[in-house]
Amino acid sequence: MLRAAAILFDMDGVLVDSKAVIERVLHRWAVRRGLDQEAILHLPHGQKTRDTVAAFAPHLNVADEVAWLDAEEERDVDGITAFPGAAKLLGELAPEEWALVTSAGRQLAPRRLLAAGLPLPHTLVAGESVTRGKPAPEGYLLGAKLLGRRPDECIVLEDAPAGIEAGLAAGMRVIGVATTYPRSRLIGCTAIVTDLSEISVQRDGSGMSLMLHSRD
């Protein structure tokens, strides 16, 4: 049982399964620019598009490539689904108890949530909301601030090492979600779950707790 006043969710790999879309878009980008098609599919997850482009293809115009990639991702939502337990967990939370903190853009995030049949957050920290993306803590600190909560009152749900590092650097507890990386890569987490179906909300007179139910 983990006490918390607010939950900060990453999107891709936690709430939304967008792996197929991401891989399709990256493949089209690789073909378009003559990049290594195999290597591009092993890029780190959970980071802002501009950081990925700058690291993988520094010889290209970052702004132009980000614009193309963002447009492709906004257009392609075929096959996007919610991970098990995502809709149920969000339904157990009041709007002021959760925020979405994602590296995705402000236009892309709601498109993917709607495609997956999930509710839109009242509080959204998107890629362009911050100067430094994950693994920097800026996004999670902003999410807590917008909810009116201290970092130590928040729990982060993350599937990628960069996001986990960001949550920990923000002074928050992190629950790792083993959908994208093996559990051995989810270092520093307070707990690790297979997906959100292993988490439920319990309330008493003093507040909210997250209950973890392992299927192992």
Amino acid letter, 34: G
Instruction: Point out the catalytic residue in the list 12, 17, 70, 159.
Output: 12
At 175, which helix (H) or strand (E)? strand 173-177
Instruction: Point out the catalytic residue in the list 10, 17, 70, 159.
Output: 10
The span from the CA of 95 to the CA of 164, in Å, is 23
159 is catalytic: no
64, with CB counted inside 10 A (0-12, 13-18, 19+), is: exposed
Amino acid letter, 138: E
Can you spell out the DSSP letters for 17-28?
A: E-HHHHHHHHHH
Name the token pair of 90.
């969000």
Is the bond preceding residue 182 a cis peptide, omega within 30 degrees?
no
At 208, which helix (H) or strand (E)? strand 207-212
17 is catalytic: no
Say if CB 125 and CB 35 are below 8 A apart: no
Catalytic residues: 10, 12
